[in-house]
Structure 1
């Protein structure tokens, strides 16, 4: 092994490799192992991409940034476009983390947050979830001496959302020199009353950074587009740290075309919420334990190795909980109606094996790496 390889291995020692969701094959084939939008983007977005004429020019972000800022209810100085939301994680880790610094994360957490923290050389404090939700008081205690808190809400992989009042208390309790990164990838799928007033929170809590992606309800996963909302000073720093032309022309054209298509997004989200509720009712009826979800997926206590053969009959695939820090569970992304009908049939076949049904009252999350 070369010296360069040894250096890389030392940095990667604690970083697990990312395993993407796989796609099934069959008459209702579907990738219910990745949280994608089953209906895809609006027709206007597809037309905009087909007519794109500026691929020989470097992309210009100005107009799209202005329009997205208005859509979010903020000024352009409070928003930055990113190459998917993952780029923002890397930028925040570059600016605020590093050797001798500390990041706080829920356990089990969203893998990219742990990855960028460990790659920076920072220490990672893991705070166990409680019934699938973030333990905000414990995370606030862990924040003392920390530089970043990663807070996906709704959370991936459980779909649990932070209560708005508790979130406000949490932001007040976290020291102002610790960035709170609120990842709202699944905001559109939550009940309206559970969505925090981000514009007010950003005004009152300058250490808050809001992370959003256009992969889910906007259905632009393949184009890698997202954005950050933060104070003017933090946005200035992020813009200095990011690479030039970080969002490509195709993504910019798609965002511009998708912005007025509120009706399409509303329809798409409504269908996902409807199928999510049907899935939860079926899980309840069959006796499977699951986390009530406010996201575009449901995570249930079902051994993936036993569920996968039943899904393979219909050409479907879901995400093993082992990939997400929840061994013994499976995360089921919401697909289009025919796929979900096949999924429910597979669950009914799986339920014929009584050992697969979790016993009520068992602990819902492994309590590992508790921070006191």
Structure 2
């Protein structure tokens, strides 16, 4: 075809986004603050510096950042396998647990399939589901701010492909007990993948939630989802993982963005696992602060459900929520507000926690 035979394209024709993308709500991250007097308590990050071993591992690996990372993350997967008593073939890694969750939904769901989850729960759930062309099915929390498993079971249809269970739940902090979860699994079809999202599991008191590994060994349709972003303090490096059957894990690796988990992140995660005792000491300190804050807030008259995460949850209607957020903003304390539901406050260092307690005391009923 010669140049004089080319037909000019219509000037009004422009690329457009898929309808599913154009209609997606934006993920709302915790607000950031840069001032020395700002208490950033909106993102549930660890308020400790990274573990020294992780920093050293990153510094050593940085000298080879001109090379691609191991796409299969073999060393990390083998280390996780030893840590959890599974095989490396049952481990899939990704850029944070949310990245692995995207691999799960992409790998299992076709357009029109359904993913059932509690609401309110992790804000990324409906976004990832809709992005895949699947249909999110939100099931309201029960009166104790936890998962209504009976209602979730009733919401299952022949199009259900995945069930998401966040324990302890984000943002309410309420776990699912082992007995309730096992009874639920007995009632769920074996062809539905049940994802136990345990981003905050390290902060949970022993026995408060499920023994997910034991459930996985008994129910092969269970998938365990965890992260290094919270207790291990690697939020800025983005590395999470799933424990699932070898066949599903292989599929998750196939759906992963190539080289998504950097070499620095892989080395830091391995070093963090090796420094488990130091991590657990930090977690213990957070749990002590969580208990102290919960007791003081209860004495002030606030009604809280016992949290098993590194955060506290206050149920609030929009009027109370507006007053609280305005007060926190003026005090230089950044918290996470959920319109229509409540406010989540990360448990941080004692000084920051004391600022929270003083403010809430002034606004207690």
TM-score of the superposition, structure 1-length normalised?
0.88
Alignment of 1:213-252 (within 5 A): 213-252=227-266
Structure-2 residue corresponding to 1:20: 29
The one of 83, 91, 102 aligned to 1:71: 83
Moved more, 271-280 or 300-309: 300-309
The one of 122, 127, 134 aligned to 2:134: 122
Cα deviation code 1:94-126 (max 9, x no counterpart)? 121132211111122222111111112222222
Cα deviation code 1:300-346 (max 9, x no counterpart)? 13433222343345421101122xxxx25211011111111111111
The one of 160, 172, 192 aligned to 1:158: 172
Taking a change above 3 Å as real, the CA distance of residues 336 and 77 of structure 1, as seen in their structure-2 partners, is same
Question: Is 2:99 the counterpart of 1:101?
Answer: no
Q: Distance in 2 between matches of 1:161 and 1:252?
A: 29
The one of 334, 337, 346 aligned to 1:317: 334
The one of 21, 26, 47 aligned to 1:38: 47
Q: Distance in 2 between matches of 1:205 and 1:35?
A: 31
Q: Distance in 2 between matches of 1:156 and 1:4?
A: 37
Q: CA deviation at 1:12?
A: 3.3
Structure-1 residue corresponding to 2:357: 344
Cα deviation code 1:192-241 (max 9, x no counterpart)? 11243333222221111111010011000000010010011111111122
Cα deviation code 1:170-210 (max 9, x no counterpart)? 11111011111110001111111124333322222111111
The one of 96, 108, 117 aligned to 1:84: 96
Structure-2 residue corresponding to 1:295: 309
Q: Distance in 2 between matches of 1:43 and 1:85?
A: 23
TM-score of the superposition, structure 2-length normalised?
0.90
Taking a change above 3 Å as real, the CA distance of residues 281 and 65 of structure 1, as seen in their structure-2 partners, is same
Tell me if structure 1 keeps the 8 A contact 2:40–2:334. Answer: yes
Tell me if structure 2 keeps the 8 A contact 1:24–1:312. Answer: no
Secondary structure of 1:209's counterpart equals strand
The one of 140, 144, 153 aligned to 2:153: 140
Q: CA deviation at 1:3?
A: 5.6
Between structure 1 and structure 2, the one with the greater Rg is 2
- Kindly tell me the number of residue pairs found equivalent between the two proteins: 346
Tell me if structure 1 keeps the 8 A contact 2:93–2:253. Answer: no
Alignment gaps of 5+ in structure 1: 352-356, 358-372
Alignment of 1:178-217 (within 5 A): 178-217=192-231
Question: Is 2:74 the counterpart of 1:62?
Answer: yes
Structure-2 residue corresponding to 1:330: 343
Taking a change above 3 Å as real, the CA distance of residues 3 and 127 of structure 1, as seen in their structure-2 partners, is farther
Structure-1 residue corresponding to 2:284: 270
Tell me if structure 2 keeps the 8 A contact 1:25–1:316. Answer: no
Q: CA deviation at 1:14?
A: 4.8
Tell me if structure 1 keeps the 8 A contact 2:115–2:162. Answer: yes
